[in-house]
Amino acid sequence: MNKIIYYTLILLFVATGTSFSNVSLPSVFADHMVLQQNAEVKLWGWGNPMEEITVTTSWDSVEVKTKADRHANWQVLLKTPLAGGPYSITIKGYNQVTLNDVLIGEVWLCSGQSNMEWTPSAGITNGEEAIKNANFPEIRFFNVVKNSADSPQLDLKGEWQVCTPNTMQYSSAVAYFFGKKLHENLDVPIGLVNSSWGGTPAETWIPQNVINADQTLKKASQKLKAETWCPSEPGRTYNAMIAPLVGFKLAGIIWYQGETNTANPDTYQHTFTALIRSWRDNWTQQLPFYYAQIAPYEYGSPESGVKVREAQRRTLVVPNTGMVMTSDICTTDDIHPRNKLDVGLRFANIALKNHYHTVQGIVEGPLLDSVSFKGKKAYVYFKHAEGLYLKNKDHLFEVAGVDKVFYAAKGTLKKSMFIVTSDRVSEPKYVRYAWGNTSISNIFNKANLPASSFTTETSE
C-alpha cells in the first residue's frame, strides 16, 4: 500500500509540474537579442490562466508583475536604459526562463523580396572580404524562417545570432551593411530583424483585412498569379512573418521590394502606401520607413519597371519616408544587382540624417520638385539639387503637348534647373525623364547620387 501511495504522489507531482511549467515566450525574445534603447518595450508570452508572472531585468532589478489572462496570454512593459549590455531578463511563473546576453541598442526591421533577402554567400561584390571582416559582437541578426499562413500567427521561427563571418554570410547583405554603418556611427548595439522572401508581391505583405476593405487592393490582388517559389495570396507572408513581430519595439523599417509588382505597376503606389500605413497602424508607431527604388532592368512589358520606380518616387509624399537610389550601381541585365554595400550605406545615411540627426548634407538623389512651362520651354526644378551635374551628354528628357505624345528633348542645365525643349513640340504641357525600363539616370548631385526617373503626365 505504501508503494502505491508513493508512486501515486510521484505521478501527481510530475503531472502538476508539467501543467504548471507553462511560462513561454515567442522566439523573438531569446538569448543574444537586442531591445530598443531608452524606450518602453513590450515583452509578452504565454502561461497558465491566472498564473502570476514576475519579470526582472539586470539593468534595474525592478520586479514587474502581471498575470496570464483566461486565454493564457500575458504581457509587461519594461523601461530600457540607454544602449549597453550584456544584460539578463528573468521571467518567473510556475517555472523560470532566463534570457542571457541581451543588448540594448537600435532595432530595425528589414523586409522585402529577393534583393533584401540576398546574402553574401549568394554572391555580392567583394563578398569574400566583407565576410572575412564581419566580426561585430554588438550586431545581432534575427532571420525569420520563411513561412506563410492564412490567418495571423502568434509566433514564428527564427533565432538571434551574434554577427560573425559564419552568421553574416547567411544573413541579408543589405541589412548587414546598413547595420554596420549605424553601429560605427552611433556606437551602439544594432539588432537586425530580417523578414524577407524572394519573388513576393507587396500584397502578400499587407494584412488581408486591409486588402478586403479596399476595392483597388482587392482587384490588384486578384490579378496576382500563383508562383512556384513563393506565396502570392494576400496577407500570407504578413500573417506568418510580420504579424508575430507586431509590438516588438523598433527604431524603424527598411524595405527593398517592387520587382514582382512590375506585372501590375499601375496600382503599386496605392498598394505600397497601404502597406506602409498598415504596418504603422499595427505597431501604433509612425515608424521611419526607408525603401530602395528598384533598379533599371528589362522587366518584360514596356514601361512596367519605370512605372514601379515612378510609384515609389510618388510614395515619398507619405511622411517620414526616404528612398535609396540604385540606378548607378546596377547592370540592366541582372535583376539582382551585386553591389549591396552601397545600397546598405545609402539606407544608413538616410537613417543617420533623418532619424538620428548625426550626419548633414545630401543623402538622397535629385528628385523632381516642380515644372513650369513658358512658350516652347519647360523649366524643371529638383530637390536635393546642390552641385547638380550631368555625367554624360545623353538626352533623357522628353516633352509632350496636350496630346501626350512624347518626343525626345534637350535639357540644358542652369544651376539647379533644366530648361527642356524639343523642336517637335511647340507648346509642351508634360515632361518626363529617363522614362524606360532600362534607362539609367545621368543627372547627379554633389553627393554623387543619381536622379530618379519621373513623369508629370499623371500628376494632375
pLDDT at 218: 96
Asked if residue 344 lies in contact with residue 177, where contact means CB atoms within 8 angstroms, the answer is yes
**Separation between Cα atoms, residue 317 and residue 143, nearest integer Å:** 31
Asked if residue 455 lies in contact with residue 396, where contact means CB atoms within 8 angstroms, the answer is no
Average pLDDT, the chain: 94
- Which of 43, 34, 42, 38 minimizes the C-alpha distance to 86? 34
pLDDT at 228: 93
The torsion angles phi and psi of 49, rounded to 5 degrees, stand at -50, 130
Band the pLDDT of 300: cuts 50, 70, 90. confident
pLDDT at 2: 52
pLDDT at 9: 39
Percent of the chain with pLDDT over 90: 92
pLDDT at 249: 98
- Which of 300, 302, 326, 328 minimizes the C-alpha distance to 313? 326
Strand partners, 66: 53
Is the per-residue pLDDT at 13 higher than 80? Answer: no
Specify the residue for cell string 523649366: 379
pLDDT at 179: 98
pLDDT at 15: 41
Average pLDDT over residues 373-385: 97
pLDDT at 416: 84
Query: What confidence tens digit (pLDDT) does each residue in 242-274 have?
Result: 999 999 999 999 999 999 999 999 999 999 999
pLDDT at 22: 85
Asked if residue 340 lies in contact with residue 177, where contact means CB atoms within 8 angstroms, the answer is yes
pLDDT at 394: 85
Is-cis flag, bond preceding 81, omega within 30? no
Query: What confidence tens digit (pLDDT) does each residue in 399-415 have?
Result: 999 999 999 999 999 98
Which domains does the chain show, CATH number per domain?
22-103 (2.60.40.2950), 104-354 (3.40.50.1110), 367-455 (no CATH)
Q: What is the 3-state secondary structure (H, E, C) of 404-431?
A: CCEEEEEEEEECCEEEEECCCCCCCCEE
Query: What confidence tens digit (pLDDT) does each residue in 165-213 have?
Result: 999 999 999 999 999 999 999 999 999 999 999 999 999 999 999 999 9
Average pLDDT over residues 420-448: 97
Average pLDDT over residues 425-435: 97
- Helices 215-222 and 268-283: angle between axes, nearest 10 degrees: 120
**Separation between Cα atoms, residue 375 and residue 360, nearest integer Å:** 39
Query: What confidence tens digit (pLDDT) does each residue in 93-134 have?
Result: 999 999 999 999 999 999 999 999 999 999 999 999 999 999
pLDDT at 14: 39
Average pLDDT over residues 135-152: 98
pLDDT at 17: 40
Strand partners, 107: 191
229 three-class SS? coil
Among the residue ranges 5-19, 141-155, 395-409, the one predicted with the least confidence is: 5-19
Asked if residue 192 lies in contact with residue 142, where contact means CB atoms within 8 angstroms, the answer is yes
Band the pLDDT of 28: cuts 50, 70, 90. very high
- Chain centre to alpha carbon of residue 313: 16
